[in-house]
Copies of this chain bind each other. A is one copy, B any other.
């Protein structure tokens, strides 16, 4: 009986399946995971579509939900994070979930940062929503950064600086990136966080495009933002008519 015996599995955290190994020159890591108002998620999705980003890695974590989801027609979809790249020199962290719990968050961010560091990444850019009870007119965009140079540049493009904590991957990637010697900058747009907020995503993306000197066509996102706003204004007016 060959091959028998006892095997002890080591505690797993993330599994990264590389589909391709892109060669980029000092790529910037852009975080686009779901969070407050789905701001980063929407902004990243738009960026990926407009820049023709290409998926090169699948990431699974033992801190993701332990179920599979079904889509219409019976196709199975699982909690997953993915890495995309664009020839413009971006690596985008995208997905349908964030890891749950401190350990899960740290380990996933750590694995991703290690991977992009090997690809030459020196800058981490995170995005997200900035929770407000009410957002009137254009959502303002706030920034924060891990070093003075980045902060100066970011402040010139924003309405102000972030006050308070930056939760989830958007915050952790900055801190862990710093430990790995990478600079970090974060852009948060005001959102009520009650629905996927294309309006806030648009404002973040405007600033990010300028910051990274990218030429991204924002017209489709503007349209989505317009529609979202219409729906929301409509439902608010409806709500105004009926007490609840």
B12 touches A107 (CB 8 A): yes
Which among B2, B107, B144, B168 is the interface contact of A9 at CB below 8 angstroms? B107
A74 closest partner in B (C-beta): B161
Residues of chain B lying within 8 A (CB to CB) of residue A67:
165-168, 171-172
B162 touches A65 (CB 8 A): no
* Interface assignment of A179: CB less than 8 Å from any CB of chain B: yes
**Given that A11-B11, A66-B105, A106-B62 are known contacts, is A75 also in contact with B146, CB under 8 Å in the complex?**
yes
Interface size class of A (residues with CB under 8 A): 35 or more
C-alpha gap A138/B91 in the complex (Å): 51
* Interface assignment of A136: CB less than 8 Å from any CB of chain B: no
* Interface assignment of A7: CB less than 8 Å from any CB of chain B: yes
Chain A 1-23 interface residues, beta-carbon cutoff 8 Å to B: 1-21
0/1 string, A88-106, CB within 8 A of B gives 1: 0000000000001111011
Which among B4, B18, B62, B165 is the interface contact of A68 at CB below 8 angstroms? B165
B15 touches A12 (CB 8 A): no
* Interface assignment of A64: CB less than 8 Å from any CB of chain B: yes
**Given that A11-B107, A18-B7 are known contacts, is A66 also in contact with B146, CB under 8 Å in the complex?**
no
* Interface assignment of A78: CB less than 8 Å from any CB of chain B: yes
**Given that A67-B172, A166-B67, A175-B68 are known contacts, is A8 also in contact with B12, CB under 8 Å in the complex?**
yes
A76 touches B21 (CB 8 A): no
Q: Which residues of A contact B (CB under 8 A)?
A: 1-21, 58, 60-70, 73-76, 78-80, 100-103, 105-107, 110-111, 142-148, 151, 154-155, 161-168, 170-172, 174-176, 178-180, 184, 186
3 residue pairs, one from A and one from B, having the closest CB atoms:
A78-B175, A74-B161, A3-B21
A–B pairs, 18, beta carbons within 8 Å? A1-B20, A2-B21, A7-B111, A9-B14, A11-B12, A11-B107, A15-B179, A61-B106, A66-B101, A67-B165, A67-B167, A70-B165, A70-B166, A73-B151, A75-B147, A75-B148, A76-B178, A78-B172
